[in-house]
C-alpha cells in the first residue's frame, strides 16, 4: 500500500502515505494533530468564514486508513480538536462518524496543547501512554528517554521544489506529520524541529507513496 516499513526502538512500524502509521504487532493505527473544528473556531472568534469542510475531509481520510489497515486499536496523538469548544460543538454527523469508527475498537485520545482535558466523545483520555518499548506523547520531551512517538510540530520537508508533510525518525524519536486538513506545516530545518534530531535522522515524505530522504544536517 505504498507505505514504508521501518524498525524503530526494536518495533516494526508501517509508515503510511497519508501521514498515519500502523503498528502490526499491536494492531494499532496512530495519527496526530487532526485539529477537527478549526474553521468553526476561526469563525467563532470573528475571523474569516473558511470553507467548513475540513472535519469531513479529515474524518473521511481517517476512516479510509482504518478500513485499509483493519486496525482494532486507534490512537490520536493530541490536538485532535482545535480547541475545547470545537470538541463540544462538533456537528451531529461528525459525532456519528466518530462513533461508527470507534465501534468495536479501542480508541485512545492523548491530550495536546489545543485540547487538554476530557471531552464527551468515547474512548480513553491520557496525558501520555507507555507501551512496550514506546512512549506516546503530544510534544517531544528533552532530554528524551528513547522510543518516543510525538506530533505537535507539523513537520514538512522540502526536496527539489516539492514541499510535503513528513515523518521524522532517528534512533530515539519518531515525529508524525499533522493529519488534519487545515494544518499547514513547519519546515524540517527550522531550529525548533531540527534541534530535536540527530544528524542521522531520516525523513519519510507523505504523498502518493512514502519516500525516504535524510534530514539535512543542521547549519
x/- site string to another protein, residues 162 to 201, per CB under 8 A? x---------------x--xxxxxxx--xxx-------x-
The residue within the footprint of another protein, chosen from 23, 109, 153, 197 (CB under 8 A), is 153
Minimum separation from the CB atom of position 50 to another protein (A): 6
Q: What ranges make up the beta strands (E) of 111-200?
A: 124-126, 129-131, 134-136, 148-150, 155-159, 162-169, 173-175, 186-187
Within a 10 A sphere around the Cβ of 60, how many other Cβ atoms? 12
- Of 25-84, binders to another protein (CB under 8 A) are 39-40, 43-44, 46-54, 56-57
**63, 101, 144, 159: which one contacts another protein (CB under 8 A)?**
159
Placement of cell 461528525 in the chain:
94
Cis peptide preceding 27, ω within 30 of 0: no
Tell me the C-alpha distance between 2 and 5, whole Å. 10
Binding residues for another protein, rule: CB under 8 A, are 6-7, 39-40, 43-44, 46-54, 56-57, 89, 91, 153-154, 158-162, 178, 181-187, 190-192, 200, 202, 205, 208, 211-214, 219
Amino acid at each position: 500500500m505504498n507505505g514504508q516499513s521501518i524498525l524503530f526502538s526494536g518495533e516494526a512500524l508501517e509508515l503510511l502515505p497519508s501521514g498515519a502509521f500502523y503498528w502490526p504487532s499491536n494492531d494499532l493505527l496512530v495519527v496526530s494533530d487532526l485539529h477537527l473544528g478549526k474553521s468553526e473556531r476561526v469563525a467563532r472568534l470573528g475571523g474569516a468564514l473558511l470553507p467548513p469542510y475540513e472535519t469531513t475531509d479529515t474524518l473521511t481520510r481517517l476512516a479510509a486508513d482504518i478500513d485499509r489497515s483493519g486496525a482494532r486499536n486507534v490512537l490520536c496523538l493530541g490536538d485532535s480538536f482545535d480547541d475545547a469548544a470545537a470538541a463540544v460543538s462538533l456537528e451531529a454527523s461528525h459525532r456519528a462518524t466518530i462513533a461508527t469508527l470507534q465501534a468495536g475498537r479501542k480508541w485512545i485520545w492523548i491530550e495536546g496543547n489545543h485540547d487538554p482535558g476530557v471531552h464527551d466523545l468515547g474512548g480513553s483520555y491520557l496525558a501520555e501512554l507507555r507501551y512496550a518499548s514506546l512512549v506516546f506523547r503530544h510534544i517531544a520531551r528533552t532530554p528524551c528517554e528513547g522510543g518516543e512517538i510525538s506530533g505537535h510540530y507539523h513537520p514538512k520537508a522540502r526536496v527539489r521544489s516539492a514541499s510535503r508533510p513528513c515523518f521524522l525518525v532517528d534512533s530515539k524519536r519518531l515525529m508524525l506529520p499533522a493529519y488534519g486538513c487545515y494544518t499547514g506545516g513547519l519546515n524540517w530545518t527550522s531550529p525548533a524541529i531540527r534541534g530535536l534530531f540527530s544528524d542521522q535522522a531520516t525523513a519519510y515524505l507523505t504523498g502518493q507513496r512514502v519516500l525516504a530522504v535524510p534530514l539535512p544536517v543542521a547549519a
